[in-house]
Every structure is written in C-alpha cells, then in structure tokens.
Structure 1
C-alpha cells in the first residue's frame, strides 16, 4: 500500500491485504522507520488490491461478495527469502507468487472499477514492502541486515479488508480462504 508521511492516505480508502505476521520480527524495525503504511497501522503484508472500494460503498452485500470471491481460493504457504526492488522501494518476494496473483485477479475481475494500484502498472508484482522512498544506500543497508533474518515462511489463510479512518488503517473484516 502506498502513501506518505504527510497524509497521503485518505479517510475512507480501503485495501485488501494478506497479513504476514511471521515476517514481523525480520522487517518491523525497517518498516516502522521507512514505510508510511506501517506508521499508519498496517502490519507486514502482501497487498491483494489497493486502492479498493471507498468505505461508503462497503456494505453487507459487498462483504458477502468479497467472502464469496476470496473463499474460492485455498489456503497456501508462501516463503519470503529473496529481496527485490522497485525505484526507492525494497521488498520481499513471496514464493510462490501465483496464489497472490490469483487473489488479485479474482478481486479485480469482480470489481473492475478498482484496478490494482489504480491501474498504474501493467504487471502487478506480489510483494511485502519493507521501505519506500529511499536511496540506494539505505536499501543496501536494509538488504544486508535482512540476509540473516530470512527466509520466513507464512501460512496464508485469510485476506483482510482494511480501511483508513483519516489517521490510521483499521481492520474492518477478514475473509477466509477455504
């Protein structure tokens, strides 16, 4: 999920994320310092879809539809061993990434008005962001620190709906993979 320290997140924004608590010991200190979403209350995660529906459009019908779409997918394990970069961003790569891609595709197919990352990218790369907006020296320092802390293996069994309240991200619902 993207944002900035100066309030780049907007009240009512929502997103769908896979929490990865197993990664917290390895990445928390870096994320707390260098990832705006962490400072705004989002735990270590892989984004399924952001931005998603505005809070005003999330009712019981939308939640039932999310549960149905997400419930078509089976729980899976993902291993986070390798690091990757986008400009100014360091992230962990989930392996396999296909289950994450399928979740994103299923949600985007059901809600085509909410393309992943606002349609900015042709290929959405599943990832767990560690730092944002940093120069290469900081990315290299973080990478070196993470080498001894990886791999991390996570069991993925749900997708969480998070909503920004104007100050912080709050979990609104959790949908089980079945």
Structure 2
C-alpha cells in the first residue's frame, strides 16, 4: 500500500483505498517504475486505512460493518492539481482532502485498534503516491512531467478492500459511498 516497501508486504495484510482511475493515464508509467506498491498490484489510489485487519478476521460481518460506516458518507469530487513530498516520497495532493480525512476518521473510529500506518504519523495526509525511495534527480524529472498533466479531477464514490495474497494485492470487496 502507500509508503510501504513491497518486500514488506505479507500475506493476509489488508487495506482500504479509494481508487483514482482518472489519474492512471498520468501516473501509471511513473508508478510502475518508481512505486513498489504499483508493481504489487495496487492501482493509483488514496489510502483510507492501512494496515487494516488481517484477512483471516474479515468475514461477512466485518464487510457489513465497513459498508455501514462508509455508506454514511456522500460521494465527493477531488482535484489533484499539485505535487507534494514527504521524505523519500513524491505524491499528488487532493484538494480538498476533507472527504478522504473523514473516511479515514470514520473507519478508525469503528476499528481504533488499527491506526493509520500503524500510528507512525501524528497527521495522516491524504495523498496519491507516485514515487518512493528514488534519487532526487529521478523524482524531479517525474514531478516536472506530472505537472504538465495536472489537474486531474476524480469522482470518489466507493472504497475498495484490498488483501495481499503473499504475491500481489487483490480486491476483495468494494463499498459504495452514500
């Protein structure tokens, strides 16, 4: 998922994401080269919650609860019109990011034992990772190219549950927003 090295992915890990297919034409080639999660099967996305529950704990009841929590949120539009950076990470930033934050907050409120990114960060910033762990020159080239294709507008109407099977990330379910 976001900001994780593909070698660290383990069978049974899960995460909740918002796919951003509208960004794929712009970011796919860069993500395929520069983001290990893309090579592991994760599409262009903004993470709602990672890590989530172990796949062995996800049953019909959990899926129903996810659907109930997410169904209380209306679909929304996001605009990606600039790049941002964390240490070692280049990303597209959604504006506004409020809708993504609310989805994360709602899921964490229901499953507080699963803080975003294992509780590593005080403020979880919604973002669409394009590159991580790359040389600065490569990141600068990618950023310059991305800026020529922005803005990207996305309609957010669902959240997907992905599970790692030991080799790749696979979609297990999709939950529509209200």
- RMSD (Å), alpha carbons: 0.7
- The residue number in structure 2 matching 1:134 is 134
In the alignment, structure 2 segments of 5+ residues that lack a partner are none
1:45 aligns with 2:48: no
Structure 1 stretches of at least 4 aligned residues deviating more than 6 Å after TM superposition: none
In the alignment, structure 1 segments of 5+ residues that lack a partner are none
- The residue number in structure 2 matching 1:94 is 94
In 1, distance between residues paired with 2:110 and 2:136? 38
- The residue number in structure 2 matching 1:4 is 5
Task: Give CA-to-partner distance per residue, 1:125-166, whole Å, 9 cap, x none.
Answer: 000000011122111111111111110000000000000000
In 2, distance between residues paired with 1:55 and 1:21? 25
Give aligned pairs, total. 177
Tell whether the 8 Å contact from 2:11 to 2:165 is kept in structure 1 after alignment: yes
- The residue number in structure 1 matching 2:145 is 145
- The residue number in structure 2 matching 1:14 is 14
- Please give the secondary structure, in 2, of the residue aligned with 1:153: strand
- The residue number in structure 2 matching 1:85 is 85
- Per the normalisation by structure 1, the TM-score is 0.98
- Per the normalisation by structure 2, the TM-score is 0.98
